[in-house]
Amino acid sequence: MGTIQFGTGIRTVTDIAASARHIEKLGFDIVSAGEHVMFHTPIGNTYITLSVAAGATEHIKLMSTIVLLPLYPAALAAKLGAALDNASGGRYMFGVGVGGEFPKEFEACGVPVKERGARTTEALQVIRELWTDEGVTFHGRFNTLNEVTLNPRPIQKPTPPIWVAGRQDAAKRRAALHGDGWLPYMYSPEMLKESIDSISTIRAEHNMTMDNFNNGVFIFTAVHKDRDKAREMAAAQLGKQYAQNFDKLVSKYTLIGTPEDCRKRLREYIDAGSKLFMLTSACPEAYVDENLRLIAEEVIPEFR
């Protein structure tokens, strides 16, 4: 992936088609959707949201940010991803994470929250096999498959790109050994650089190169002509979303400020190794459209 790619997420659970078309028209490369069974605010399901987006758009890529993989049987997640890749004409990007911030949703789905990491790692092994082979047999701790074949398998070969999200060492290792890309969140450029170095070391220890491995960052964004206003919006929005004080964290972990501030900060992430940016609005709902417009018209063009 030689060029820099930019994406943003669908925030609505109802007017999905219009939102996806708007994001495509603004010139973003990727439209994304997350999921939870329960959350602080209304939220949908990534596969359903992106399926609607696929039918409403023509060429924009569709990325799960992220599938809460431990909540799914691995074979079911593989089927859903393969179906979406076919339905979209090969535009799907499979972003995965372990979740865990809402233990009640794990309880509701019958999944022990302490098993989420191990389940995710094993699921990635199963999914890659199902996406590439026929008659898959796999006997693991959580999954038992006897001569299982998906039909159809994904359009993209060998598989849709698998992006592993997270912040911790276990997530880096999972990305290094089972992913095609690394998508951390709440990361500074310095942290990103260190994590890429760690992933490179892990892959080298397993005789894997970085040649086909990509790095990105999921970053909350607030662009405003008034730098202080951007900071104020981001701190308030993230403080509400994560139920903690973000006044001292926004400068380190977010993309905020004037368009020029944001372009400069993006350069730091690019220098650290990022080639993909998932820019999620850290703004009140009334300012989201203007935030996206400023990103599309006054930030992204410099990197084309």
Write down the domain spans for the chain: 1-160
Inform me whether the pLDDT recorded for 9 exceeds 70. Answer: yes
Inform me whether the pLDDT recorded for 64 exceeds 90. Answer: yes
Going from the C-alpha of 132 to that of each of 83, 153, 171, the distances in angstroms are: 14, 7, 23
Inform me whether the pLDDT recorded for 2 exceeds 70. Answer: no
State the DSSP code for 115: G
Average pLDDT over residues 141-166: 98
- pLDDT score recorded for residue 225: 96
What digits encode the pLDDT tens for the residues 15-24? 999 999 999 9
CA separation for the pair 96, 163 (Å, rounded): 6
The share of the chain scoring above pLDDT 70, in percent, equals 99
For the chain, report the end-to-end CA distance as a whole number of angstroms: 13
**Counting Cβ atoms within 10 Å, is residue 200 exposed (0-12), middle (13-18) or buried (19+)?**
middle
Its CATH architecture, for the domain 1-160, is: Alpha-Beta Barrel (3.20)
CA separation for the pair 132, 84 (Å, rounded): 16
β-strands 214-223, 276-281 pairing: parallel
Contacts of 74 (CB under 8 A, 6+ apart): 122, 123, 126, 127, 130, 142, 143
- Token pair, residue 103, equals 């233990």
DSSP H stretches of helix in 12-91:
16-26, 46-56, 74-87
Inform me whether the pLDDT recorded for 1 exceeds 80. Answer: no
Other Cβ atoms within 10 Å of 177 Cβ, number: 17
What digits encode the pLDDT tens for the residues 191-239? 999 999 999 999 999 999 999 999 999 999 999 999 999 999 999 999 9
DSSP H stretches of helix in 133-246:
169-178, 189-205, 227-242
Closest to 281 measured CA to CA, from 243, 214, 224, 205 = 224
CA separation for the pair 222, 281 (Å, rounded): 6
The share of the chain scoring above pLDDT 90, in percent, equals 95
State the DSSP code for 299: I
CA separation for the pair 43, 126 (Å, rounded): 27
- pLDDT score recorded for residue 41: 82
Closest to 254 measured CA to CA, from 241, 240, 243, 238 = 238
